[in-house]
Chains A and B, each alone.
Chain A
């Protein structure tokens, strides 16, 4: 199959491109700057909001994996809407025009999350009104847009990987590791909330399976949450990442209301200052670190004919090995 992957530069994007290539698909990537994917991957450089560029990239493709998005804790609402909603609309319409038959929208469980604990949750419909923050809200709109485009001959589905991590991650795991190495990792409350995470290779594998099963009768038109199905307490995850990074595990506790308030202040100050990098603590992160998020994986595994191949233990071993090797 000839597949267009948008946003092939990040941790997950890179893994998806590698997995699709490994499976014998011919992959084109559309991204803003070169990523140095090995041959035979074709790179098209440009914005997903640019109709001409997208049309050129998708030309001749059978399938699209739409990964590109503006992912950030802070930023202007208009920017999120432009990239996440506008970009998705552009890619969808170009794909349809190019005769693409399969479209996998890579989404996020936050599109259906109103801030309450998620305990063995199933993939509820995306809800932009209750989603928390600009990222989640615009991703929710994008997912609704994509699934609404599902028609006979143009099968669309959404995959929502939860907290993807692995060697080479500079976002979530990278920042935890960096704080742990400086001995500045703190716990919100007692860190007992259970959290699902997804080792990056498993997420890439699930997305490749999604392409294969996208047109199945009970798959197209629906969202599926993807995770390792091994929820762990926040304190265990932070401790294992810290140890893999050679840093100190968290020992200090911050009560949730304090963390939330501090996060909210930082968030606002950050927005006003217009800084481009991510702040250390936001209200969203405080909430994430104090609230359970784990999912019922039965339906996903059945529908995608997929099981995570890499368990958490093996994932942490690989993480430690990568950091030891200077990653």
Chain B
């Protein structure tokens, strides 16, 4: 019956972002009958009615309810938000007792009773507040409407040590020193944030923990983490860890800072294993205090809560009209293996000689590898990263994974080492299969997951029991996660299920009339692996597929000749390289191009000159360029003849939607946001929005990104802008983020750039905006034959203004334009806009003093 040693108090005035009106002191009797006083933040509700919903927010150690200030500030009027300070923490009473997990859960229940929280509740918690909050949630299932967790844990995953920071803090000589005697732990928590927190916020987090006496519980909290099974709180935590497996009916949102040195991604994987239905958003770059590091988090949380209140009907799938499920991805491979086992399925250049793999051999390898991988622990649903250069090995591994229901994680070299590291870590891959060079890197980076080198594959295929291949995966099973380098920000994982990959294959087969008689020359990485799914032979020309410019005309001719190729898929950069080396072709090599019936240029806009060049090189081929993106490929396509017939327009003509694909435009407003409803009106500039059966399933662990891209359920927002013409053809104007918002309306860059690039002496051009949204000025940056840098002379200025068809404030010459490394052809307009903004702002007057 110890009375408190220090009473609860209100926080000092003036803490940034904290409304003093939220603070109140509430007294409850604890399990021992002692009256305890809490400090809580409480928005109450507007009016006298009961709240429609209450958020109960629980902080971790060593923070306090201040952590939730932005959640309170953004609360809608009919939702009550209560954020508590645990006893002995924050500004609540210092009890002089040691309170263990079970007691803290009981304390919280008594507090919510005292606060009259009897209606529906969404629990929100961070750090070690997670187990307390989940303990409360499991005991209040009748009230529980949702669970939100930020960087927390309920279980120490098997086979991995507890976080070093926690073990260190727990070691007894250090425990008191770190947590109680000195403010080390309190300070370290806020010091971890990136970008660094404002001083006022750092001070506010430390405000309740001045002096060792006020920090006593910071130490006991850490001591209460049950790292060993005999710990007094171990039973309680284990019960919670198991209990959450029953929350299948309750919506769960996990908001995660992947840079947390304590609660790393493996705890997220553990939570997902227990609650596989949870929505997840990982804020790349954010650390332990994810709600501080990721300012979007609070909006995302409230969007999720609003969806939850609207109920499942609002979120129901409103996709394209029901389509029958496609055949399994391996079925064409199996059919060809049965009917034409001795024909070539894959050909590739190895050490200067063609290596050919027949359908029979390929199917046998896929079965044996699949079975062997199972023996090595690869399970249905596991994610397997493949770091293998395109070729027969890659194809065999991918189809083997698909055959046994594992999902393949694909990254492209354009991401760089850091990007690949981030992507594989974020995707939670369980296995990594790679070439020896890649595996060395994987070891250095310390990536999680079991490692298999391609040199081991032959052995793995031998250990597999032939004939023991499981039933094919279901259409809803995950097939692939693709990471591609975006123009801005970290790469996003795009998830396809077998259903969507199968539909992509079926769309290509139907639209391009592909039959077994076709053979594919695959010089474009994403599609290089689809040959076996289509049941057609694939040949990979001798080149570095990750670098399109390495494809030379002679190598391409040899590849076409090897399989008597009928289809060629390549990127525009590869077209350029082929055409510039076409002079080296022998007559025999030149004649080989005659077997091609279809040439597709994909990945970036293709200039008319390149298309014409390819049409001359491949006299029997129709030259087409499909338009699409990682999330939906293809969306539209267009022939060279149509481009010529259409003549110049505002942007790049990409043609009509493919059968079954719908394209709409969401108009761009004054601020550059695509706020317009979906429309098929012609000549309206807006974001291109796509609906098709073969679009991505979702973005991986990016709930908020997925929610924004499917704002209209069933539709995918592409981030590209353009317009439809009166005949329903789509013209691309650039990226939504690159639209220039002038006071006369939004301007898409590509059309302006095309017109300026038509001027004599101009090699390339970029159109960017400077100034605030809605009142931006157009600046055209050009590379000319003169190779100079700085404001253009009047002669060039006048010529640009005469052709641009938009008001141009300035024309600046540069020696070159920065480009996106992957496609080698997309201009980095965001970087240019920043550069132009600085240049045209001139000198920072007062700085030079």
Q: Is the CB of B774 within 8 A of A231?
A: no
Find chain B residues with CB under 8 A from A298 CB.
Answer: 743, 774-775
A192 touches B846 (CB 8 A): no
Per-residue CB proximity of A55-75 to B under 8 Å, as 1/0?
000000000000000000000
Residues of B within 8 A of A191 (CB): 791
Given A119-B770, A296-B772, answer yes or no on A231-B777 (Cβ-Cβ < 8 Å): yes
Q: Is A239 an interface residue (CB 8 A)?
A: yes
A-B pair count, CB < 8 Å, reads 94
Given the complex, which residues of B lie within 8 Å of A260, measured CB to CB? 848
Question: Contacts A192-B790, A236-B791, A236-B797 given: A117-B810 contact, CB under 8 Å?
Answer: no
A120: contacting residue among B775, B842, B846, CB under 8 A: B775
In the bound assembly, the distance between CA atoms of A325 and B840 in angstroms comes to: 35
**A194 on the B face (CB < 8 A):** yes
Residues of the B chain whose Cβ atoms lie less than 8 Å from the Cβ of A192 = 790-791, 810, 812, 839-840, 842
Residue of A nearest to B839 (CB): A192
Instruction: Give A97-122 as 1s and 0s: 1 = Cβ < 8 Å from B's Cβ atoms.
Output: 00000000000000000111101100
Partner-binding segment picked from A79-87, A136-144, A284-292: A284-292
Which listed residue (A188, A232, A297) contacts B743, Cβ 8 A?
Answer: A297
User: Given A192-B791, A192-B812, are A233 and B775 neighbors across the interface (CB < 8 Å)?
Assistant: no
B672 to chain A minimum Cβ distance, whole angstroms, is 13
Q: Across the two chains, which residue of chain B brings its CB closest to A187? A: B791
Q: Which of A115, A233, A240, A297 has a CB less than 8 Å from the CB of B810?
A: A233
Partner of A190, one of B770, B791, B809, B846: B791
Q: Mark B765-790, 1 if CB is under 8 A from A, else 0.
A: 00000111011110000000000001
Among A114, A234, A287, A291, point to the contact of B841 (Cβ < 8 A). A291
Residues of chain A lying within 8 A (CB to CB) of residue B846:
114-116
- The DSSP consensus for interface residues of chain A is mixed
> Does B161 reach chain A (CB closer than 8 Å)?
no
Known: A117-B842, A193-B843. 12 other contacts (CB 8 A): A119-B771, A119-B841, A188-B843, A189-B842, A190-B791, A193-B842, A194-B777, A230-B807, A243-B794, A291-B843, A292-B842, A296-B775
- Supposing A230-B809, A236-B791 touch, asked if A194 and B840 sit within 8 A by C-beta, the answer is yes
The 8 closest A-B pairs by CB, nearest first: A193-B842, A120-B771, A115-B845, A290-B843, A117-B841, A296-B775, A120-B772, A115-B846
A188 CB, nearest partner CB in chain B, Å: 8
Q: Are B845 and A232 in contact (CB under 8 A)?
A: no
Q: Kindly identify, within residues 253 to 290 of chain A, every residue whose CB is under 8 Å from any CB belonging to chain B.
A: 256-257, 260, 287, 290
Complex contacts, B839 vs chain A, CB 8 Å? 192
Q: List 13 A-B contacts (CB under 8 A).
A: A114-B846, A116-B846, A119-B770, A120-B771, A188-B843, A192-B839, A194-B840, A194-B842, A231-B809, A232-B809, A287-B843, A296-B743, A296-B774
- Chain A interface residue number, banded: 35 or more
Which residues of chain A come closer than 8 Å to B790, judged between CB atoms? 190, 192
Instruction: Give bound CA distance, A298 to B812, whole Å.
Output: 26
* Neighbouring A residues of B841 by C-beta, 8 Å: 117, 119, 193-194, 291-292
Q: Could you give, for residues 235-260 of chain A, a 1 whenever the CB lies within 8 Å of some chain B CB and a 0 otherwise?
A: 11001100100000000000011001
CB-defined contacts of B774 to chain A, threshold 8 Å: 296, 298
User: Which B residues are CB-close (under 8 A) to A194?
Assistant: 770, 777, 809-810, 840-842
Answer whether residue B837 sits at the interface, using C-beta atoms and an 8 A cutoff: yes
- Determine if B437 is an interface residue (Cβ-Cβ < 8 Å): no
The answer to whether the Cβ of A229 comes within 8 Å of any Cβ in the partner chain is: yes
Instruction: Tell me whether chain B's interface is mostly helix, strand or loop, or mixed.
Output: mixed
Instruction: Determine the chain B residues whose CB is within 8 A of the CB of A120 once the complex forms.
Output: 771-772, 775-777
Closest B residue to A232 using CB positions: B809
Interface assignment of B844: CB less than 8 Å from any CB of chain A? yes
Bound complex: CA of A290 vs CA of B771, how far in Å?
17
> Chain B: interface residue count, which band?
20 to 34
Given contacts A119-B772, A236-B810, contact A294 B777 (CB under 8 A): yes
Q: Across the interface, do A233 and B791 meet the contact criterion of CB distance under 8 Å?
A: yes
Which residues of B, 808-849, contact A by the 8 Å Cβ criterion? Answer: 809-810, 812, 837, 839-846, 848
Q: Smallest distance from the beta carbon of B280 to chain A beta carbons, Å?
A: 39
Of chain B, the residue at the smallest CB distance from A311 is B807
Q: Are B840 and A193 neighbours in the complex by a CB distance under 8 Å?
A: yes
Q: A119 contacts which chain B residues (CB < 8 A)?
A: 770-772, 837, 840-841
A296, B744: Cα distance in complex, Å: 12
Given contacts A236-B791, A298-B774, contact A290 B809 (CB under 8 A): no
Q: What CA separation (Å) do A230 and B797 show in the bound complex? A: 14
- What separation, in Å, do the CA atoms of A115 and B845 have in the docked complex? 5
Task: Kindly state the separation between the CA atoms of A149 and B75 in the bound complex, as whole angstroms.
Answer: 41
Compute how far the CA of A235 lies from the CA of B845 in the bound complex, rounded to whole angstroms.
18
Q: Which residue of B lies closest to A234 (CB)?
A: B842
B845 adjacent to A233 (CB under 8 Å): no
Among A120, A193, A234, A296: residue with most chain B CB under 10 A: A120
A117 contacts which chain B residues (CB < 8 A)? 841-845
Task: Provide the bound-state CA to CA distance between A234 and B837, in Å.
Answer: 15
A290 touches B807 (CB 8 A): no
Q: Which residue of chain A has its CB nearest to the CB of B789?
A: A190
Nearest CB on B from A263, distance (A) = 12
Smallest Cβ-Cβ distance to A118: which chain B residue: B841
Between B790, B791, B797, the greatest number of chain A beta carbons within 10 A of the residue's beta carbon is seen for B791
Q: Are A291 and B842 in contact (CB-based, < 8 A)? A: yes
Shortest CB distance A290–B (Å): 4
Which residues of chain B are near A256, meaning CB under 8 Å?
A: 843, 848
Q: Which of B728-774 contact A (CB under 8 A)?
A: 743, 770-772, 774
Q: How close is B722's CB to chain A, nearest CB, in angstroms? A: 26
| Chain B residues near A291 (CB-CB < 8 A) | 841-845
Whole-angstrom CA separation of A234 from B841 in the bound complex: 11
Q: Which of B10-37 contact A (CB under 8 A)?
A: none
Separation of A239 and B844 alpha carbons in the complex (Å): 23
Could you tell me which residues of chain B, from 158 to 194, have a CB within 8 Å of some CB in chain A?
none
Question: A116 contacts B791, CB within 8 Å?
Answer: no
Say yes or no: A189 contacts B843, CB within 8 Å: yes
In this complex, what residue of A is CB-closest to B772?
A120
Within 8 A of B (CB), among A182-228: 188-194
B775 A297 Cβ-Cβ under 8 A: yes
Taken together as a complex, chains A and B put the C-alpha atoms of A292 and B772 apart, in Å, by 13
- Beta-carbon contact of A235 and B791 below 8 Å: yes
CB distance from B769 to the nearest CB of A (A): 10
Question: Bound state CA distance, A219 and B842, in angstroms?
Answer: 32
Contact A294 B844, CB 8 Å, known A192-B810, A236-B794: no
| A257 pairs with B848, CB closer than 8 A | yes
A167 to B772, CA, bound (A): 32
- B residues in contact with A231, CB < 8 Å: 777, 809
- Asked whether, in the complex, the Cβ of B810 is within 8 Å of the Cβ of A229, the reply is no
CB of B780 to closest CB in A, whole Å: 12
In the complex, the chain A residue whose C-beta lies closest to that of B848 is A257
Q: Which of A129-187 contact B (CB under 8 A)?
A: none
Q: Do A290 and B842 touch (CB < 8 A)?
A: yes
Q: Considering the complex, which residues of chain B in the window 555-578 have a beta carbon less than 8 Å from any beta carbon of chain A?
A: none
- B135 CB to nearest chain A CB (Å): 53
In the complex, what residues of A have CB within 8 A of residue B807's CB? 230
B487 to chain A, nearest CB (A): 24
- Please name all residues of chain A whose beta carbon is closer than 8 Å to the beta carbon of B842 when the two chains form the complex: 117, 189, 192-194, 234, 290-292
Q: How far is the CA of A294 from the CA of B771 in the complex (A)?
A: 9
Assembly CA distance A256 to B743 (angstroms):
32
Cα A234 to Cα B842 with chains together (Å):
10
Distance in angstroms between the alpha carbons of A192 and B845 in the assembled complex: 14
Q: CB distance B837 to A116 under 8 Å?
A: no
Bound state CA distance, A239 and B848, in angstroms?
26
Q: Which residues of A contact B809 (CB under 8 A)?
A: 194, 230-233
Please, how many angstroms separate the alpha-carbon atoms of A306 and B842 in the complex? 30
Q: How far is the CA of A235 from the CA of B812 in the complex (A)?
A: 12
Task: Check A116–B844 contact: CB distance below 8 A.
Answer: yes
Closest chain A residue, CB of each to CB of B849? A260
A234 vs B840: C-alpha distance in the bound complex, in angstroms? Answer: 10
Q: For the complex formed, measure the closest distance between the CB of B796 and the CB atoms of chain A, giving whole angstroms.
A: 11
Quick one: which of B777, B809, B843, B846 has the most chain A CB within 10 A? B843
